[in-house]
A and B are shown apart, each in its own frame.
Chain A
Amino acid sequence: MPGPYRETDLTEKVEAFLSDLKRGGSGTGPLRGSAETARETTALLRRITAQVRWSSAGDLMEVIRKEGRRMSAAQPSETTVGNMIRRVLKIIREEYARSRGSSEEADQQESLHKLLTSGGLSEENFRQYFTALKANVIEAINELLTELEGTTDNIAMQALEHIHSNEVIMTIGRSRTVEAFLKDAARKRKFHVIVAECAPFCQGHEMATSLSKDGIETTVITDAAIFAVMSRVNKVIIGTQTVLANGGLRAVNGTHTLALAAKHHSTPLIVCAPINFLFISGEILSKVNVHCPVFDYVPPELITLFISNIGGHAPSYIYRLMSELYHPEDHEL
């Protein structure tokens, strides 16, 4: 029978993904970039939408929320999983609203108006059934996937606007986004890159070998030499694990020191992050080990510019993007 066969196949895929996430977090599984995780999550959600039986939008959202909670629980620090789930939930809401006939803009205005007039929460319960809903949702998720696949390229295309010749650029650790960014700029301009190795995992070494193989003049320095060398650096370009709603960052260990040093020398700090890295959380990081914290919190005052696939923004603009991407009710999965 095709039905249960497809479902077991689906559960297998979900289980495999969950175990990958768990292993990836502990460092033993295949190391994956955040963009890859986002793509895989979205592909999995599309599969769930296509194969699981659901009758109304509300059912689908419940299913996705349940799976989403399991996925987030498997690897709490990989926030792109949760983000993708929230994006998909928002897509479902939008498609549902479109099917019902109301426009999205009115919805947003209504919600702000409702907040001011202390009206209750929207009474949508998403119970209505629309035949075309499934196809629309899957199409929207496909669009999301294409957008995800193109993020790194979109960011890299903006590289020439921000890097001029004979610059000295500093970066820390390894970020695929920054790597693509710098390699794209190196096709037309000559500049020098200094990579801080970012102990103890020393991912900076990989970054340096990869950059120098592409013909970029690279130097590897230890973490201790960041401030010593900063006076000669023109720009600091970093990638990040997550962008927080207040414009702050959750990035690899050592980034806070780098940001402070850049601030002291008035060197601009540019963060390259695709838009799916935005994360809703008020709390500043606390769930890390005592002796070897994996991530750093960088406050928004130390950041000059965010470069995402939709262009450049100041840190103070991030909250607005957040409201466009995610629905407030999905903040808690």
Chain B
Amino acid sequence: TACCFFSYYFKEPSFISYVIEGKELTKEEKQRLRKEKKQQKKGKEKKDASLPQVSVAETAAPASQLKAERRARQEAERTSKQSKKGDTGQPATTIVKRLPEHIQVDDPDVLKKLAKKLERQQIPRRLDYGYKVSLFSHLLQYSRKAPLTQQLSIPSAVIHPAIVRLGLQYSQGIVAGSNARSIALLHAFKQVISDYTTPSNEELSRDLVNKLKPYISFLNQCRPLSASMGNAIKYIKKEISNIPSQFKEDDAKKKLLNCIECFIEEKIVLAAKAIAKSSIEKINDGDVILVYGCSSLVNHILCEAFEKGRKFRVIVVDSRPRLEGREALRRLVQKGISCTYVLISAVSYILPEVSKVFLGAHALLANGYVMSRVGTSQIALVAKAFNVPVLVCCETYKFCERVQTDSFVSNELDDPDDLIVTRKGETQLKDWQQVPRLGLLNLVYDVTPPDFVDLVITDLGMIPCTSVPVVLRVKNVDLL
């Protein structure tokens, strides 16, 4: 409970009498927190040199001067970092990231730090569930039957109810798919912002960002954030920080809400339209198109192409345990597209009849690898073996600066109980927890190497997989 957290952390008996379960921190505690945060921020600002600085004065300077100043600063920092490279062991580039905690679960120090951070933010910590396969001991594995909200007090004064609802929807799988999750996140943030009031002696640009941090930790605990959500959060934080201090609160809030609307409109809705327009050129009459799982973008493309009058049929490939293909099948059949349904083990059987493969992506990594639902790389592999072209459709807001070469180092482990199934009246794996050496692995994502992918269709045009870092660079320059 919250009481225990505070007595452990602050060790000052006078505060215990002030603490009521679930209430917000007192003023002294806030000051202490703020000092810590400032120190953290200073460390972070050194690292995030590529993002624009958060001071009011600079927004007045012209863009070219900003660029020149920034470049000079980057050079200086690069030389200074190279001199003390041995400290962190991280490469001395301008974009230096902290390793996310959710892939360092096997390191007890990292776990301790995470626990402390969550206590400070008054967010309960979700516990690991079940026996973890040794190859994945660095990742978290949760059970769907134990959602985080069970450990929260209701009503929670620390976390906005829209965020609590969102977290529950994520952890139970009600909202799934990277576009859906991002849009839901942005809508929840809109609600948070409209309900927000700046406390006295605080600036909106700083306080709101700090208010969002525990929400983000909470959502992260419910389900690890996706790359698209990460980019959306970065964008919002930047917009908030850029609010000039002379804005009145109402104007600032209106501006932020507007920004979020613009983001959703431009990066998701219009991007989907642009991608559909480019993809329709690639779909010919008489095509047999193979799709995997349920990607909202690919479904949108197919529906648009069908409305424009292209004649084609679709083969939907599905896999256990999520069986998302059924949802895609439902949407396509409703439109009137003729479909076939197979499981992923039958892919090498039906591929000889397929003319093209359309795949959706969860994120595109900076080394050209495509991160998508598990099974995508398998389909790309078999398609390559049969010489069938593979096209990946992805909006640019899902492009991510991470690099990864295999599906182990960073992934998500879903509830292992999902693999249990009853066939012919027998449930073989019912008591798998009791069997000492049996592990169930329910991976969520995998990475597809760029040599399996022939083309990536984005809202900026059709590019090969290896051009992703170029797009990222262009995007970063645009943000300035």
Chain A residues near B (Cβ < 8 Å): 192, 194, 197-202, 205-206, 208-209, 212-213, 215-229, 231-232, 253-254, 256-257, 260-261, 264, 288, 290-293, 296
Q: Is B235 an interface position by the 8 A CB rule?
A: no
Chain B contact residues, majority secondary structure: mixed
Q: Is B442 an interface position by the 8 A CB rule?
A: yes
Asked if A257 contacts B382 (CB within 8 A), the reply is yes
Give 10 pairs: A residue, B residue, CB < 8 Å, sorted on A: A192-B134, A197-B320, A212-B437, A219-B133, A223-B344, A229-B443, A257-B348, A290-B340, A291-B346, A293-B349
Asked if B349 contacts A224 (CB within 8 A), the reply is no
Nearest Cβ on chain A to B396's Cβ, whole angstroms: 25
Chain A residues whose C-beta falls within 8 Å of the C-beta of B340 in the assembled complex: 290-291
Q: Looking at the complex, which one of A205, A217, A257, A261 makes contact with B429 (CB distance below 8 Å)?
A: A205
In order of increasing CB-CB distance, the 10 nearest A-B pairs are A224-B375, A254-B345, A228-B446, A205-B428, A224-B319, A256-B348, A212-B438, A228-B407, A227-B378, A219-B439
- Bound-complex Cα distance A288 to B382 (A): 20
- Bound-complex Cα distance A289 to B115 (A): 54
Chain B residues whose C-beta falls within 8 Å of the C-beta of A229 in the assembled complex: 407, 441, 443
Chain B residues whose C-beta falls within 8 Å of the C-beta of A218 in the assembled complex: 437-439
Within 8 A of A (CB), among B354-385: 373-375, 377-378, 381-382, 385
Asked if A209 contacts B435 (CB within 8 A), the reply is yes
Contact of A225 with B346 at beta-carbon distance under 8 Å, contacts A206-B428, A220-B419, A291-B340 already known: no
Q: Is B406 an interface position by the 8 A CB rule?
A: yes
Q: Is B33 an interface position by the 8 A CB rule?
A: no
- Bound-complex Cα distance A58 to B457 (A): 69
Chain A contact residues, majority secondary structure: mixed
Q: Is B57 an interface position by the 8 A CB rule?
A: no
Chain B residues whose C-beta falls within 8 Å of the C-beta of A209 in the assembled complex: 428-429, 432, 435, 438
Chain B residues whose C-beta falls within 8 Å of the C-beta of A253 in the assembled complex: 345-346, 349
Chain B residues near A (Cβ < 8 Å): 133-135, 319-321, 340-349, 373-375, 377-378, 381-382, 385, 406-408, 419, 421, 423, 428-429, 432, 435-443, 446-447
Asked if B320 contacts A224 (CB within 8 A), the reply is yes
Asked if A292 contacts B429 (CB within 8 A), the reply is no
Nearest Cβ on chain B to A198's Cβ, whole angstroms: 7
**Nearest opposing residue in chain A for B439, CB measure:** A219
Nearest Cβ on chain A to B154's Cβ, whole angstroms: 36
**Nearest opposing residue in chain A for B428, CB measure:** A205
Nearest Cβ on chain B to A18's Cβ, whole angstroms: 23
**Nearest opposing residue in chain A for B378, CB measure:** A227
Nearest Cβ on chain A to B476's Cβ, whole angstroms: 30
Total number of A-B contacts with CB less than 8 angstroms? 136
Chain B residues whose C-beta falls within 8 Å of the C-beta of A290 in the assembled complex: 340
Asked if B419 contacts A222 (CB within 8 A), the reply is yes
Chain A residues whose C-beta falls within 8 Å of the C-beta of B378 in the assembled complex: 224, 226-228, 257, 261
Asked if B346 contacts A293 (CB within 8 A), the reply is yes
Asked if A220 contacts B348 (CB within 8 A), the reply is no
**Most chain-B Cβ atoms within 10 A of its Cβ — which of A194, A197, A205, A215?**
A205
Asked if A199 contacts B320 (CB within 8 A), the reply is yes
- Bound-complex Cα distance A261 to B407 (A): 14
**Nearest opposing residue in chain B for A217, CB measure:** B437
Q: Looking at the complex, which one of A206, A220, A224 makes contact with B440 (CB distance below 8 Å)?
A: A220
Asked if B381 contacts A227 (CB within 8 A), the reply is yes
Asked if A225 contacts B342 (CB within 8 A), the reply is no
Contact of A221 with B443 at beta-carbon distance under 8 Å, contacts A205-B421, A227-B377, A296-B348 already known: yes
- Bound-complex Cα distance A315 to B321 (A): 35
- Bound-complex Cα distance A253 to B437 (A): 27
Contact of A213 with B133 at beta-carbon distance under 8 Å, contacts A228-B446, A291-B341, A293-B346 already known: no
8 new A-B pairs (CB below 8 Å) besides A199-B344, A292-B343?
A197-B419, A205-B429, A218-B438, A219-B133, A223-B319, A228-B446, A253-B346, A256-B382
Chain A residues whose C-beta falls within 8 Å of the C-beta of B381 in the assembled complex: 227, 257, 260-261, 264
- Bound-complex Cα distance A219 to B407 (A): 16
Chain A residues whose C-beta falls within 8 Å of the C-beta of B437 in the assembled complex: 212, 215-218
Contact of A202 with B377 at beta-carbon distance under 8 Å, contacts A220-B439, A225-B443, A296-B349 already known: no
Q: Looking at the complex, which one of A220, A260, A296 makes contact with B441 (CB distance below 8 Å)?
A: A220
Chain B residues whose C-beta falls within 8 Å of the C-beta of A232 in the assembled complex: 135, 408
Chain B residues whose C-beta falls within 8 Å of the C-beta of A213 in the assembled complex: 435
**Nearest opposing residue in chain A for B131, CB measure:** A219
- Bound-complex Cα distance A217 to B440 (A): 11
Asked if B343 contacts A223 (CB within 8 A), the reply is yes
Q: Looking at the complex, which one of B134, B345, B348, B441 makes contact with A198 (CB distance below 8 Å)?
A: B345
Nearest Cβ on chain A to B361's Cβ, whole angstroms: 15
Contact of A228 with B320 at beta-carbon distance under 8 Å, contacts A200-B343, A220-B441, A291-B340 already known: no
- Bound-complex Cα distance A111 to B348 (A): 40
Asked if A231 contacts B406 (CB within 8 A), the reply is yes
Nearest Cβ on chain A to B292's Cβ, whole angstroms: 9
**Nearest opposing residue in chain B for A218, CB measure:** B438
- Bound-complex Cα distance A290 to B346 (A): 10
Asked if A228 contacts B374 (CB within 8 A), the reply is yes
Asked if A224 contacts B374 (CB within 8 A), the reply is yes
Chain B residues whose C-beta falls within 8 Å of the C-beta of A228 in the assembled complex: 374, 377-378, 406-407, 443, 446-447
Chain A residues whose C-beta falls within 8 Å of the C-beta of B440 in the assembled complex: 219-220
**Most chain-A Cβ atoms within 10 A of its Cβ — which of B342, B348, B421?**
B348
Chain A residues whose C-beta falls within 8 Å of the C-beta of B441 in the assembled complex: 194, 219-221, 225, 229
Asked if A208 contacts B385 (CB within 8 A), the reply is no
Chain B residues whose C-beta falls within 8 Å of the C-beta of A226 in the assembled complex: 378
Asked if B374 contacts A225 (CB within 8 A), the reply is yes
Chain A residues whose C-beta falls within 8 Å of the C-beta of B446 in the assembled complex: 225, 227-228
- Bound-complex Cα distance A232 to B343 (A): 24
Nearest Cβ on chain A to B290's Cβ, whole angstroms: 14
Contact of A222 with B435 at beta-carbon distance under 8 Å, contacts A227-B446, A257-B347, A291-B342 already known: no
Asked if B342 contacts A222 (CB within 8 A), the reply is no
**Nearest opposing residue in chain A for B429, CB measure:** A205
- Bound-complex Cα distance A73 to B175 (A): 51
Chain B residues whose C-beta falls within 8 Å of the C-beta of A194 in the assembled complex: 441
Chain A residues whose C-beta falls within 8 Å of the C-beta of B319 in the assembled complex: 199, 222-224
Nearest Cβ on chain B to A210's Cβ, whole angstroms: 9
Asked if B343 contacts A260 (CB within 8 A), the reply is no
